[in-house]
Amino acid sequence: MDASYQLEICANSVASAIAAEEGGAHRVEFCQNLETGGTTPSAGQIRIARQRLTIGLHVLIRPRAGDFLYTDAEFEEMKADISFCKESNCDGIVIGLLDADGRVDQRTEELVTLAHPMHVTFHRAFDVCREPFEALEAIIACGCKRLLTSGMKNTALDGVGLISELIERAKGRIEIMPGSGVNEANLADIARLTGASTFHTSAKAVLKSRMNHTNKVVGGMGFEVWESSKEKIRHLADILKTL
């Protein structure tokens, strides 16, 4: 991949993380429960992923699905998970906290300080904030080094206008990384329209269960699995080489 472009894969399992490395990704955002937007992976998953990966391992710190307004107890859980990631030699963490009015939670700075020297990304909680440019400045002031955003739209392609403006306003103080709906059909366009150099995607494929026996009367038991596709990742990495 061209050194000026980077590909981050949102990996929801050890298998997905390994596929990311084998496909040519620069790093992974490691999570579980991608179907609900992602939550913090287990200690076992983090340890095994760290053992098996040579690319960057950035762990999502999100105690639950839903909104990004966290109680004091949830905040303590996030701090404990960050400490575990530091002890496990992870390269970074991914966080996103808002207050009840949709502004960046001031406690974000405490998490960034705790995470040091790990890299800190502020995730798509930004996309449901009150005001994007106010939030951008707050995220920079807290010490985050990267912002993952879809430009406050459902997909990054729809949000290219805001993403481009965020990059212009950031002036290199923070990296702006488009994510959500990024795929092989639109990656080049998103890069061209935004001027971004780092891109985020799950590159997922739906795998059918390998079970021979199923009881179709009982629903909601998870007969499909999402997993990052090495082939899709390789295709995306190849596209970035041509830009």
Residue range 103-134, pLDDT digits in tens: 999 999 999 999 999 999 999 999 999 999 99
At 224 the pLDDT is 77
Backbone φ, ψ for residue 175 (5° rounding): -85, 130
**pLDDT band with cut points at 50, 70 and 90 for residue 222:** low
Question: Please, what's the b/e burial string for 124-154 (b: 16 or more CB within 10 A of its CB; e: otherwise)?
Answer: bbbbebeebeebbbbbbebbbbbbbbbbbbe
Cα-atom radius of gyration of the chain, to the nearest Å?
18
- Burial (CB count <10 Å: 0-12, 13-18, 19+), residue 233: buried
Are 64 and 74 a contacting pair, CB within 8 Å?
A: yes
Residue 39 in this model has a pLDDT that exceeds 70: yes
Residue 15 in this model has a pLDDT that exceeds 80: yes
Phi-psi region of 63 (alpha: psi -120 to 50; beta: other; left: phi over 0): alpha
At 210 the pLDDT is 81
What is the full DSSP assignment across 66-82?
S-S---HHHHHHHHHHH
pLDDT in tens, 154-196: 999 999 999 999 999 999 999 999 999 999 999 999 999 999 9
**pLDDT band with cut points at 50, 70 and 90 for residue 3:** low
At 135 the pLDDT is 98
Q: What is the average pLDDT across 219-225?
A: 74
- Entry pTM: 0.95
Rounded-to-integer distance, Cα 218 and Cα 220, Å? 7
Average predicted confidence (pLDDT) for the chain: 95
Rounded-to-integer distance, Cα 152 and Cα 156, Å? 8
Are 121 and 148 a contacting pair, CB within 8 Å?
A: yes
Q: What is the average pLDDT across 141-154?
A: 98
- Burial (CB count <10 Å: 0-12, 13-18, 19+), residue 91: middle
What domains can you pick out in the chain, each with its CATH number?
A: 6-242 (3.20.20.380)
**pLDDT band with cut points at 50, 70 and 90 for residue 1:** very low
At 151 the pLDDT is 98
